[in-house]
Structure 1
């Protein structure tokens, strides 16, 4: 049993993100009392397909925890998350269908709010969404600065989503950032905000930005936001004392971690197990199950090293069949073979108790599959589990094991024994190499297209 009343269960990405964490979180959240986010912002996203009032509906999540799909689950945004308040309400309005944009069957349909009938499939989030008063704020000027920094870097640009996440964490680290609780002291907020913007003007020049207009805007937003705000550590620790079942939804993935990822081509927050403790204020001993989500092949968005990337027909096949386009940016994802060096390193850091293998059906048509099992440098095995030096990483010779494909559809299979023999062997090879059981296997995008082995 993953969710236990005396432990916090965690779902984390094992690669460079986009592994399909949302689907498992959606399944586990059906048993959760609280679903929490601990890091990142609205720079990542995933889509949940759910039945609401008998209608199959697609919901896009970027900042808000996807546990909101469970009507009995409370969603909590922790202090480790950076929050763009306008994006918070835009996403909330879309989920509840109170805004202009309807999401039905994955297609956006523009309608005014008074045209939306009460029977339209939206989520009732009343009283089920909470935000830590210690979470730092992302402002529009952070997003402007994000773009300016990318231009400044030129050919060395990281390829950020330009959502202002990095600059917001930079403000936090320099101790000049503003937190949610600052919004509720109008005079103090205005003073701190002007000082913060002025600092960015000194660094980047006077870009176009209405400082006083933003102060007035956030005065209105603060009044709307206040009912959602709680003291984070107090809320979570009371929940643990009351034996609430808590599920933590990781953002991004270990290889994008600010410390353990492919720095500097990473995000600006701790995306591994350590970020769960610091981003929520829960002690390590409170953590129970840690499930790592791994795609059956490898993808990444933006710049940065990618040892198993396939710039050929294999990469194109994975991209097209896997529909590898980002939910947040729409950018094409780079694709390659499954890298077990990355997965083993990720397990070393996060200590997974189980794995969820996703998008296995994308491999159905391939006659043979390659799996990376080691890196060589100058014809010698690397001693490090995964090198920190990106120059070294760019020169490694990837060691592959080739496995036979199954070349038949496994779409929507829900029993392990019903999988083709070569498919089962692929799964077992991964388990044996990593030393962790694969407890869930995704065989299609639908919630029901999942093999459960735990």
Structure 2
């Protein structure tokens, strides 16, 4: 059985917690795209693990895979190993496999990213982790792959070929001496490759063999649907395809093998960085969502922009991903707000739209049309069944199901693993 799980908004929907909840039902959890620009937070037993590369099911006895559609910074991965080891979790070659073709985020990618963002007249809001430039090298066939760094002689030959052109490029971008020094600090890669060599694998082969044996595989995406490089709110997007179809291409498994597609959706909406957010709230409501929801980016620490639930954007997410079910997170954050609003459509140039316009510039001009529902004051973080929720909270969930036409069988009422309602 193959399940694909993606974020349905702009990322930060709570995928880390949801994967942690679902993990016991799966044999393999495979990350299929993105880099360490995405952060997944898992809270268990008073401990908080902030993961950027390792799939979120790391706390369970499951096989973890990083697919060739991912771009990986070995230094960040090794830092995650150390964080987990401090918590008593050892990640060895039996626990984690990394595809031989996974692209490596090199130091020069990070410096290029920094320089490019600084020079832009209109900022994108990149995390400056080198993600875009690593993907550019994949497309131009000038990448360093995981198979390269686990073989010292192979890595030396690759660097001798690549580095002169990268130096010329950085000098043309105006890199100073300090930036050039950081960009070409590559000696640590040899030791990192040696430490990580036990993790090399063929992810496509592993996944297909597991499925043929009747095992259960969960494909875990990073970021969110509307940050997709093709279908997102360009140019304010990430550098990979974040939608469900990307899982098949990136992991190397046929689409006929997919059984379920699960979308993670926050009970409101948030966005980090630039780009349109039609329902954004700047007053007391937005501040409530930020403070109560702890809306700070896992990777950057930046304050997230917050707004009411946006149904038109979710309709597009459902079309792009083909969701069979949704998981609703952070329902508890809406407690204390009355009324609670749901954006059911947009007004644009005198026309009512129930689906987002194609152009990002048009989306930025849309005015949300709201439906109001009764709020609740009760603390729902301790609710363990749907029936324990206040009637207004239940009605909110049911109304979303009516508007979206997709069931919501799982509801999160807090950051802890146990704060989950399964209907």
Deviation at 1:184, TM superposition (A): 4.1
| In the alignment, structure 1 residue 69 sits paired with structure 2 residue 59 | yes
Structure 2: gaps of 5 or more residues: none
C-alpha change, 1:232 and 1:270, in structure 2 (3 Å) is same
RMSD, aligned α-carbons: 1.7
CA contact (8 A) 1:19 1:294 kept: yes
435-444 vs 186-195, greater mean Cα deviation: 186-195
Deviation at 1:422, TM superposition (A): 1.3
CA contact (8 A) 2:110 2:183 kept: no
| In the alignment, structure 1 residue 43 sits paired with structure 2 residue 32 | no
Three-state SS of the structure 2 residue aligned to 1:209 is: helix
Q: 1:282-297 to 2 correspondence within 5 Å?
A: 282-297=253-268
Deviation at 1:221, TM superposition (A): 1.8
Partner of 2:205: 234
Q: 1:387-398 to 2 correspondence within 5 Å?
A: 387-398=357-368
1:148 to 115, 136, 140: 115
Deviation at 1:79, TM superposition (A): 0.5
2:128 to 156, 159, 162: 162
Partner of 1:256: 227
1:323 to 281, 285, 294: 294
158-167 vs 215-224, greater mean Cα deviation: 215-224
Partner of 2:348: 377
Deviation at 1:125, TM superposition (A): 2.3
Deviation at 1:204, TM superposition (A): 3.3
Deviation at 1:124, TM superposition (A): 2.7
**Per-residue Cα deviation, 1:375-433 (whole angstroms, up to 9, x for no partner):** 121111238x3223122112112111111112222122011112111111111110011
CA–CA separation in structure 1 for the residues paired with 2:62 and 2:145:
25
CA–CA separation in structure 2 for the residues paired with 1:129 and 1:185:
19
How many aligned positions are there?
A: 417
CA–CA separation in structure 2 for the residues paired with 1:17 and 1:211:
30
So what's the TM-score if we normalise by structure 1?
0.88
CA–CA separation in structure 2 for the residues paired with 1:417 and 1:223:
53
So what's the TM-score if we normalise by structure 2?
0.95
Partner of 1:270: 241
Three-state SS of the structure 1 residue aligned to 2:238 is: coil
CA–CA separation in structure 1 for the residues paired with 2:55 and 2:291:
28
Q: 1:209-228 to 2 correspondence within 5 Å?
A: 209-210=180-181, 214-228=185-199
Partner of 2:392: 422
Deviation at 1:244, TM superposition (A): 1.9
Three-state SS of the structure 2 residue aligned to 1:130 is: strand
CA contact (8 A) 1:272 1:350 kept: yes
CA–CA separation in structure 1 for the residues paired with 2:312 and 2:320:
13
CA–CA separation in structure 1 for the residues paired with 2:416 and 2:186:
44
Partner of 1:410: 380
CA contact (8 A) 2:66 2:99 kept: yes
CA contact (8 A) 2:279 2:368 kept: yes
Q: 1:84-123 to 2 correspondence within 5 Å?
A: 84-97=73-86, 121-123=87-89
CA contact (8 A) 1:190 1:215 kept: no
CA–CA separation in structure 2 for the residues paired with 1:362 and 1:211:
42
Partner of 1:173: 139
CA contact (8 A) 1:412 1:450 kept: no
C-alpha change, 1:395 and 1:212, in structure 2 (3 Å) is closer
CA–CA separation in structure 1 for the residues paired with 2:195 and 2:413:
42
CA–CA separation in structure 1 for the residues paired with 2:25 and 2:126:
35
CA contact (8 A) 1:18 1:299 kept: yes
Partner of 2:412: 442
2:272 to 301, 306, 309: 301
C-alpha change, 1:175 and 1:379, in structure 2 (3 Å) is same
